[in-house]
Chain A
Amino acid sequence: MSNVLELQESDVHHGHEAHHEHHHHETFITKYVFSQDHKMIAKQFLITGMIWAIIGGLFSVLFRLQLGYPESTFPWLEDLLGHWAKGGKILPEFYYALVTMHGTILVFFVLTAGLSGTFANFLIPLQIGARDMASPLLNMLSYWFFFLASIIMFSSLFVQTGPASGGWTIYPPLSALGDASSGSKIGMDLWLTSMAMFIVSSLLGGLNYISTILNLRTKGMSMTRMPLTIWALFFTAVLGVLSFPVLLSGAILLLFDRNLGTSFFLSDIYVNGKILPNEGGSAILFQHLFWFLGHPEVYIILLPAMGMSSEIISVNSRKPIFGYMAMVGSLFAIAILAFLVWAHHMFVTGLNPFLGSFFVLLTLLIAVPSAIKVFNWLTTLWRANIRFTPGMLFAIGFVSLFISGGLTGIFLGNSALDIHLHDTYFVVAHFHIVMGVASFFGMFAGVYHWFPKMYGRYLNNTLAYIHFWITIIGAYLIFWPMHYEGLAGMPRRYYDFSGWESFKMFGGLNEFISVVAMIVFAAQLLFVLNFFHSIFKGRKVTTANPWGANTLEWTTPIRPGHGNWVGEIPEVYRGAYDYGKDGREFIPQTEPVGENESHH
């Protein structure tokens, strides 16, 4: 431990004095609200994301209540929700609103902004050796645009006709015609406006992440010495910058169809026996535009989790990550393929089957880099001296979930099988495991691992272990049975299955899933409690490098000020994964390469 900088909290003030450009009188507003410090912005993203996660999770509890107990009434629901739950039973319109908002919130506000917003902001400058993001101002604006988007989306929950309820994919014509359903009215406009703000936020953030990683690496931090977290966040940012604008285009066209009488997505529509004047548009075109974003979006959610798990697994295995270049290469391959496979979400829309076969091929190709990654994680863990910290457990959990969810992706990527499985609970199970829960595990792993750096305190380990075991067992108990329901043809997004003879046998299973879902949701509250309690009351971190990790963020003071390093930014001499080399447990990146040092 001799090479660890033993810096105490008092050094933070040194940090300020050493950098006069940051040293100005900080008020509460400039320090906690309109802060331009990347670490504070990261915390803002994280906490906003957590609030959204609670709301989105609560929505899933409510609609699971309906699915688990379709014939019961709960009088307290009417007290809670008013006319949306008349007589203690959730109305179908409200059920669709809940499902829609659950998807929107979790996909965009939690797992995009909350995940990469938090960790890209927090880790990029710290791990590449920069004082801050390239443009701290745009970085701050990125958060506030996200905040604006959040406010608009949140307010849409309270309008008279309810929030958007056409599914998180907002397919027209349901979303394009105001008269189509109650959720297609003002709620839909608010959804689109909020999403436009969200895209601006993600663009400002993404441009910052890319130019920071490219331009502001410290001396010696060549691209191939960067931690895998940074590589993953880099590809995530590239995906966001190139794919979100396509959703923006789709959203603008949809807003025009809704409000200006254009016919981009509308054609041959009969309402009450009368044909609408719209002609020549195509609803499928919107699906193409949406999924051109939508598929990269899946990887925008997944890649940061992959990167953080790689880093955490290597640190806590005390072994170098197996196949660093293969890990980078497979991230790159996944990022490229992400742009080429969007129409595999649309096999049953009447897509030209010959065109579809190309999409099948490209989709199945993703299995190759994914398998490389899984292989490398497992080989890193193989015969390692594993430290089961909470962060490590969640990272291993991520690998497990990625394998389980990824395998079903190979089923769904085949257009012939997809005809049977499309829009069933099989799909729900697949994407919840592989992108929903797995990314959440990556996020939890990241929070547990970097919490000491964020707040200078530890999270409570006992609560963390309880949280982990309930969540991983619960996740499998919730989503594993859904595969069987889906194979039996049970469609997703239905309000009530009790009317179908063939799905009646799943009544008990649905009830079971609902109960487990509620337990898992409650376990997440444990995490929230642990998080906020530990910020103020957690055990204090006393050494600068509590995990014995190689990366640069642990060479900063325990609670770094704005500017991160006291004095000069350290230079980097080696890759991030020199663990267990030459009989030493770890060799930080800042240590020059010795003369007799062996090469891996």
Chain B
Amino acid sequence: MSTAAVQQGTKWWSGGRSPFNASYGKVMMWYFLMSDAFTFGAFLISYGTIRFSQNHWVDPNHVFNSFPFAGHTNLPLAFVSLMTFILIASSVTMVLAVHEGHKMNKAGVEKYMLWTILGGLCFLGCQAWEWTHLLTGQHEVLVNGQLEYWNTTVAHNPFGPEVMFNGKEVATPGPIAFGSYFFEITGFHGFHVFSGIIINIIMYLKTKMSHFEQRGHYEMIEKAGLYWHFVDLVWVFVFLCFYLI
């Protein structure tokens, strides 16, 4: 392997070159993502800390069990699986766009960028539906000895521990932090998806206008790709923390 030989023989740290064989832009993007990982990390760790400090937590299978147009059928985890697959698929089309960029194939980059943008929009649409569902869906809950119907917001949720009331099991108010953290973290992630879509649209237009072709490389697509994959990566952990465990 010739590249391996180059790597072996090069004094990477001696100055006059990048020790990573990467342009400063790419290095900056990587460190920006590291920094952003700490932002998300802090959110998710705060969520975990609060969850560990509670005697009772919401069972995700009770909360996320519906699917568009499926009525009241109990389908735990089905919809979020769809969202996950959409995001993974859009990640794949993003890599393919980068791949086409290496081959200097303008038409290929355009095609896959469009697919990626579409995937991102689909994901945001799904998230909008899920939020709407949580915010409007009414559930029976026992509050101060009376049955009420509650939706799920940042300030309350009806998914608390179940007690016997008039001979049937009813839920009591659940931990407030659940809704707070769910909306806050998925919202922040959604904001990242949104900005990723904006970046991708700009990259698509720049490709269309042959900016990268004139520059002789498609590194900008690569950098946008890093950001997009990072958004996917964060979702993997959001998926773990909110839906699976």
Contacts and interface: CB of A to CB of B under 8 A. Distances in A.
A223 B13 CA distance: 6
B24 A134 contact: yes
Contacts of A106: none
A246 B45 CA distance: 10
A365 B180 CA distance: 38
Contact of B184 (A207, A219, A256): A256
Given A134-B28, A281-B177, A262 B15 contact: no
B176 interface: yes
Given A215-B27, A222-B13, A262-B180, A289 B38 contact: no
Interface stretch (A78-86, A272-280, A458-466, A554-562): A272-280
Of listed A244, A252, A263, A288, residue having the most chain B CB within 10 A: A263
B28 A135 contact: yes
A203 B32 contact: yes
A218 B16 contact: yes
Given A256-B154, A261-B155, A292-B42, A214 B177 contact: no
A214 B24 CA distance: 8
Contact of B38 (A134, A245, A256): A245
Contact of A217 (B16, B31, B43, B177): B16
Given A256-B154, A280-B175, A217 B15 contact: yes
Contacts of A219: 14-16
A135 B15 CA distance: 18
B46 A264 contact: yes
Given A245-B42, A262-B184, A210 B13 contact: no
A245 B28 contact: no
A138 B24 CA distance: 12
Contact of B50 (A218, A242, A245, A281): A281
Contacts of B19: 214-215
Given A215-B18, A216-B24, A263-B177, A250 B54 contact: no
A208 interface: yes
B34 to A, nearest CB: 7
Given A245-B42, A261-B154, A211 B176 contact: no
A135 to B, nearest CB: 7
B28 A211 contact: yes
Contacts of A292: 42
Given A207-B31, A211-B28, A214-B20, A264 B50 contact: yes
A253 B49 CA distance: 14
Contacts of B46: 249, 253, 264, 285, 289
B27 A210 contact: yes
Q: Is the interface of B mostly helix, strand, loop or mixed?
A: helix
A220 B11 CA distance: 10
Interface string B155-198: 11000000000000000000111001100100010000000000
B4 to A, nearest CB: 22
B15 A222 contact: yes
Contacts of B28: 134-135, 138, 207-208, 210-211
B25 A249 contact: no
Contacts of A241: 31, 34-35
Interface residues of B, number: 39
B154 A282 contact: no
Contacts of A545: none
A221 interface: yes
B39 interface: yes
Contacts of B59: none
B148 interface: no
Nearest to B56: A280
A211 B39 contact: no
A248 interface: yes
Nearest to B156: A277
Interface in B24-70: 24-25, 27-28, 31-32, 34-36, 38-39, 41-43, 46, 49-50, 53-54
A243 interface: yes
A263 B15 contact: no
A431 B13 CA distance: 37
A280 to B, nearest CB: 5
A584 B50 CA distance: 64
B38 A242 contact: yes
Interface in A185-234: 203, 206-208, 210-212, 214-223, 225
A241 B24 CA distance: 16
Nearest to A262: B180
Given A134-B28, A215-B27, A241-B35, A279 B53 contact: no
A408 B54 CA distance: 38
Contacts of A221: 14-16
Interface residues on A, range: 35 or more
B203 to A, nearest CB: 18
A213 to B, nearest CB: 10
Nearest to B24: A134
A253 B184 contact: yes
A278 B16 CA distance: 57
A448 to B, nearest CB: 29
A572 B38 contact: no
A260 interface: yes
A197 to B, nearest CB: 15
A250 B15 contact: no
Given A261-B155, A280-B54, A249 B43 contact: yes
A245 B42 CA distance: 8
A134 B25 CA distance: 8
B34 A215 contact: no
A134 B29 CA distance: 12
Interface in A131-183: 134-135, 138
A285 B54 CA distance: 13
Nearest to B16: A219
Contacts of A129: 15
B220 to A, nearest CB: 14
A30 to B, nearest CB: 23
Contacts of B50: 264, 280-282, 285
Nearest to A288: B49
A218 B27 contact: no
A243 B25 contact: no
Nearest to A208: B28
A277 B155 CA distance: 8
Of listed A215, A220, A223, residue having the most chain B CB within 10 A: A215
A16 B156 CA distance: 64
Contact of B155 (A210, A211, A262): A262
18 contacts: A207-B32, A207-B35, A215-B22, A215-B24, A216-B24, A222-B11, A242-B35, A242-B38, A249-B39, A253-B184, A256-B154, A261-B154, A262-B184, A264-B184, A277-B176, A278-B176, A279-B176, A289-B42
Interface of A: 128-129, 134-135, 138, 203, 206-208, 210-212, 214-223, 225, 241-246, 248-250, 252-253, 256, 260-264, 277-282, 285, 288-289, 292, 572
Closest 4 CB pairs of A and B: A219-B16, A249-B42, A134-B24, A221-B15
Given A219-B14, A222-B15, 10 more contacts: A134-B24, A134-B28, A212-B24, A215-B19, A215-B24, A216-B24, A218-B15, A242-B34, A243-B38, A263-B180
